[in-house]
A = this chain, B = another copy of it.
Amino acid sequence: MKLFISRGAPSPRRVMMFMVEKNITGIEWVTVDLNAQEHKSEAYRAKSPLAKVPALELDDGRVLTETRAICTYLEGLFPDTNLMGVDAEERAFIEMADRRAELYLLGGIANTVRHTHPGLAPLEQPQFPEFGQSQALKVREIAAWFDQLLQQQAWVAGDRFTIADITAFCAIEFARLMKLHPGREGLLALQAWRDRVADRPSANAK
């Protein structure tokens, strides 16, 4: 199998961290150059028709896209260490936590960065800076909510490290591009959690 990634983007990083956490080896990482628009090339679109990265090419030639779907597939193949839930009930609660991290935290950060950062202009046309700035306010609200949550529990989905921590961590790391540093804004529980995740070997996969 081959995993198509891009360096510096949060979604491929989620799958890379997921693989390292599970000690999955033997899947080649192939870099796609977003700035060179390689993801929009005919060759890449033959694999990922909506030009999305990451994408997992299976040995039978089928290609799976969408970060969380790739993780679902890998969790099935490599059940240890479990990161997505051991039964439907736990899977549902972890999925809730993961979606909160993805849709509201990472989604808001991505909207902010894509619409306000000059470096993202090649990927987001047209940019709407005022929309991006309004999203930044919402990101700070949701970051404060995660801070409160992490005052009450050790990890994003509860009492153990899961895929939801990977998603939230990749989001907070990407938020450097909007100059969001939790500790400097008084979000001390969020910062402490971020630092604990940053100490894990998987955080080096990027």
A interface list, Cβ under 8 A from B: 49-50, 64-66, 68-70, 72-73, 75-77, 87-89, 91-93, 95-96, 99-100, 103-104, 126, 128, 130-131, 134, 142, 145
**This chain's copy number in the assembly:** 2
Decide: A91 and B72 in contact? CB cutoff 8 A: yes
Decide: B50 and A76 in contact? CB cutoff 8 A: no
Decide: A96 and B69 in contact? CB cutoff 8 A: yes
Give Cα distance in the complex from A65 to B73, angstroms. 23
Could you pull out 13 A-B pairs where Cβ atoms are within 8 angstroms? A50-B104, A64-B93, A65-B100, A66-B96, A66-B100, A69-B92, A69-B95, A69-B99, A70-B92, A73-B88, A75-B88, A76-B92, A128-B131
What residue in chain B is nearest A130 (Cβ atoms)? B128
